[in-house]
Every structure is written in C-alpha cells, then in structure tokens.
C-alpha cells in the first residue's frame, strides 16, 4: 500500500518532459559512474580479491562444507582444528570462509545455511574463489532405515536430489506421458509418489502423482548451456575407499561424553555404516509415511536438506566429494529413541564431526 501511494504521488509531481530532458545527461553520467563502481566491486570487493589471491598461494585446500552452526561449532571447538593465525577467516557474499588446519590438512570451513539453494550457492562460491582439491561435507540427517540408530554415522555411495518433481495432472495414469516429457525435459524413469495411495480411508483425490526428476547439470568441462541429466551422484571413489577405514572407530555413546545416567546414553554404541544411498531436498521430513516411501522407492538411509546439492555442484566442477551424515532421528518417528532426538541431536553432531576429523586425518596420512 505505502509503496503504490508513493509512486502515484511522485508521478503526479513529476517535472515536465523538457525539464526532465535537461536533467537527463548529468543523471546518465551519474548512473554510468555508479555502474562502473559497482562493476569493480561486484560480489567480491577488491580488498577481498587480494585476500583470496593471498589465501590461494597457500593452497590447495580441502573444503569442509557444513549446513549450520549447530553442526559446525563442535568442529570449531575441537582440538583437531587450528585456525590460521594471520587470516582466520574471510567474509564474501554473506558467507564466512574459515581457514586453518585439521591434522596435517589445510582446510577451508564454510557454513551454508539450510536447504538446497544455500548449500549449492555456498559450494559454488567456495569452488569459484578458492583452490579446493576436494570437499568433505558433514552434518546430521533424518534416518530412513529402522535398523540403524540415532548417533550412527552414515557414508552413502550415492546422493540424489528428491525435490525436483513433475506433478502430473489429475486423471492421467502412469502410462501417460508427462507434460514436456517428449522434449526430454522430464522423465518417468525414477518413479512417482501417488497421493491416492495415502488416502485415509482409501479413496482417490485430486493430487494424482509427483514424478521424481533428475537434475539438469552443466559440467564445467562441457559445452555451456548444453544440459545433461543426473539423478544419482556418486561420491569420489578414492574418498569412498578411504572412508571404509572409519568403520569400527569409536563414537560417543553418551551426551557430553559422560555416562551420568542412562537417559543421556544411547542403548548401544553408535557405529559408522557404509550405505548405498542418501537423498536431499529442501523439505524437512518428519513423516513416517513419506520416510517409508523414500526408503522403499529409492533405498535411501540418510535424508537431509543439503548433501545432494553439494554433490551436484562438486560433480559439475569436477571436484572430489564425500558426505558424512550422522543420524539424529528416525524421520517421522516410530521408535522409542525418536522421542529422544532433542537430547541426542548434539551427540549426533559430535559424532559427525568425529568421523569427519578422522576421515581428514586419513586423507593426509
Ligand atoms: C494414482 O492413483 C490413482 C488411484 O489408484 C489412479 O487412478 C491413478 O492413475 C494413479 N496415477 C498414477 C500416475 O499412477
Ligand atoms: C552438555 O553440555 C552442555 C555444555 O556444557 C550443556 O549445556 C548441556 O546441558 C549438557 N547436556 C547434558 C544432557 O548434560
């Protein structure tokens, strides 16, 4: 309301055209000067550009990408991390890039914020600015495998983005082509969730089905604007082989590392598990029916909101990538432990950090 009122009143008091014309040239010059200044600064101010160059002289670095502060703080507090003395961090475009060492490895730690957009943008920025030899992504995740437990740390072989959909019109069955499918824009290859299957009591509804779509990717070494489609993005082979050595490592079983009471200890010692798949979407899954669908359709274990975005950016930039995600809850409930997610989320974050630090030490040995 306020904005449109202002617009109207300013246009009614606008000067006549001739007067406007005489004022136009200095105005244009001013606009041009501002544009030139903006071009020099761009998203990376000249001062930061210099700092980036200085940082890169000490590269290459391992990029450590983490969704939020709750997951990053245990790493920053860990004795395994020593911040760089000269330039501990650099802020660019609303992100803070922290420099230092984890064991023998030079690292850049960056927090992305929640969801696929934030994690994709931040990962791209990391790779655009810095000399990064590989990415280790870690955090907590919802669990879709009832055989695993809170506090277990998963290392999937593949990551998929399960939030890119073609939502089919009501009345079309699975044999019907999707809108724009014949263009090669969409596919029925990866299957669908049919909302009718979830009606209570059993009955149809107008929502029909959403079909899961692969991401359009534009690899840095490919032809610009010439798309490829990718659904399951594998983690780096060498990183994956190396991460097998994490199995059997000791993880915290009790909150704050002290067995003060059974209420703050997990029923069994958590473990690192290599699993086939994980999936991500900008959707917080706290729903047992959807969790079970994701498990049965895609065979996923960790469900999170960032890993596949980091994987997709790393894939396109040709950067080795792995994700280490600890389980914080059985997404959507269904076990006695799930009520304890609030208590054990910090423990899960701690275990993700422990496995990540151990992995980085293996990388540098
Ligand atoms: C979804 O389920 C309804 C009810 O069984 C069915 O009529 C419809 O064809 C299904 N749609 C798809 C795309 O499978
Ligand atoms: C664990 O330690 C933190 C910080 O020292 C404290 O705030 C928290 O209450 C502790 N949690 C438990 C369950 O003891």
What are the residue ranges of helices labelled H in 151-282? 237-243
10 Å CB burial of residue 304 (0-12, 13-18, 19+) is buried
Cβ–ligand 2 distance for 124 under 6 Å, the answer no
Which of ligand 1's atoms lies nearest the C-alpha of 211?
A: 13
pLDDT in the model for residue 58:
96
Instruction: Measure the CA angle with vertex 33, ends 28 and 38; round to 5°.
Output: 125
From the CA of 171, the nearest ligand is 1
Three-class DSSP category at 102: strand
Contact 110, 126 (CB under 8 A): yes
In CATH terms, is domain 46-164+215-364 a member of 3.40.50.1580? yes
From the CA of 170, the nearest ligand is 1
Encode pLDDT of 292-303 as tens digits: 999 999 999 999
CA distance 219 to 59: 23
CA distance 272 to 304: 17
Measured in angstroms, how far is the CA atom of residue 172 from the centroid of ligand 1? 7
Q: Which residue's alpha carbon is nearest to atom 2 within ligand 2? A: 256
Q: 335 pLDDT exceeds 90? A: no
Cβ–ligand 1 distance for 168 under 6 Å, the answer yes
CA distance 117 to 87: 28
Residue of 1 and 139 predicted with greater confidence: 139
- b/e sequence 142-175, b meaning 16+ C-beta within 10 Å: bbbbeebbbbbbbbbebbbbbbbebebeeeeeee
Contact 119, 131 (CB under 8 A): no
Q: 11 pLDDT exceeds 90? A: no
CA distance 327 to 140: 6
* Span 213-230, average pLDDT: 97
Measured in angstroms, how far is the CA atom of residue 174 from the centroid of ligand 1? 7
The string of DSSP letters for 259-295 reads: -S-GGGB-SS---EEEEEEEEE-S-----HHHHHHHH
Encode pLDDT of 265-292 as tens digits: 888 999 999 999 999 999 999 999 999 9
From the CA of 205, the nearest ligand is 1
Cβ–ligand 1 distance for 204 under 6 Å, the answer yes
Residue of 245 and 330 predicted with greater confidence: 245
Three-class DSSP category at 65: strand
Q: 16 pLDDT exceeds 50? A: no
HSE-CB for 30 with a 13 A CA cutoff? 5
Cβ–ligand 1 distance for 146 under 6 Å, the answer no
Encode pLDDT of 48-85 as tens digits: 999 999 999 999 999 999 999 999 999 999 999 999 99
Q: How is residue 300 annotated by DSSP?
A: E
Instruction: Measure the CA angle with vertex 199, ends 198 and 204; round to 5°.
Output: 115
Measured in angstroms, how far is the CA atom of residue 301 from the centroid of ligand 1? 27
């Amino acid at each position: 309301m306020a904005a449109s009122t202002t617009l109207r009143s300013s246009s009614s008091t606008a000067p006549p055209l001739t007067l406007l014309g005489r004022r136009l040239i200095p105005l244009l010059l001013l606009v041009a000067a501002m544009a030139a200044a903006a071009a020099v600064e761009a998203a990376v101010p000249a001062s930061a550009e210099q700092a980036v160059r200085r940082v890169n002289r000490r590269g290459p670095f391992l990029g450590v990408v983490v969704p939020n502060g709750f997951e990053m703080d245990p790493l920053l507090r860990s004795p395994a991390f020593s911040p760089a003395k000269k330039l501990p961090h650099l802020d660019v475009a609303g992100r803070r890039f922290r420099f230092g060492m984890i064991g023998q490895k030079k690292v850049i730690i960056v927090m992305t914020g929640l969801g696929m957009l934030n994690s994709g943008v931040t990962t791209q920025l990391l790779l655009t600015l810095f000399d990064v030899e590989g990415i280790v992504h870690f955090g907590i995740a919802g669990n879709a495998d009832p055989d695993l437990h809170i506090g277990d740390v998963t290392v999937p072989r593949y990551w998929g983005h399960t939030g890119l959909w073609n939502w089919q019109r009501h009345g079309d069955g699975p044999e019907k082509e999707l809108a724009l499918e014949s263009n090669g824009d969409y596919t029925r290859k990866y299957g669908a969730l049919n909302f009718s299957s979830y009606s209570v009591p059993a009955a149809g509804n107008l929502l029909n089905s959403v079909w899961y779509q692969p991401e359009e990717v534009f690899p840095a070494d490919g032809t610009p604007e010439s798309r490829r489609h990718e659904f399951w993005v594998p983690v780096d082979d060498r990183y994956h082989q190396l991460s097998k050595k994490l199995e059997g490592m000791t993880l915290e079983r009790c909150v704050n590392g002290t067995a003060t009471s059974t209420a703050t200890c997990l029923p069994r010692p958590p473990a690192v598990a290599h699993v086939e798949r994980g999936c991500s979407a900008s959707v917080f899954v706290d729903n047992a029916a959807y969790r079970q669908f994701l498990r049965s359709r895609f065979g996923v274990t960790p469900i999170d909101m960032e890993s596949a975005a980091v994987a997709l950016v790393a894939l396109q930039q040709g950067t080795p990538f792995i994700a280490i995600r600890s389980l914080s809850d059985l997404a959507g409930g269904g076990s006695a432990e799930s009520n304890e997610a609030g208590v054990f989320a910090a423990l899960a974050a701690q275990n993700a950090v422990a496995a990540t630090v151990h992995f980085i030490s293996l990388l540098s040995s």
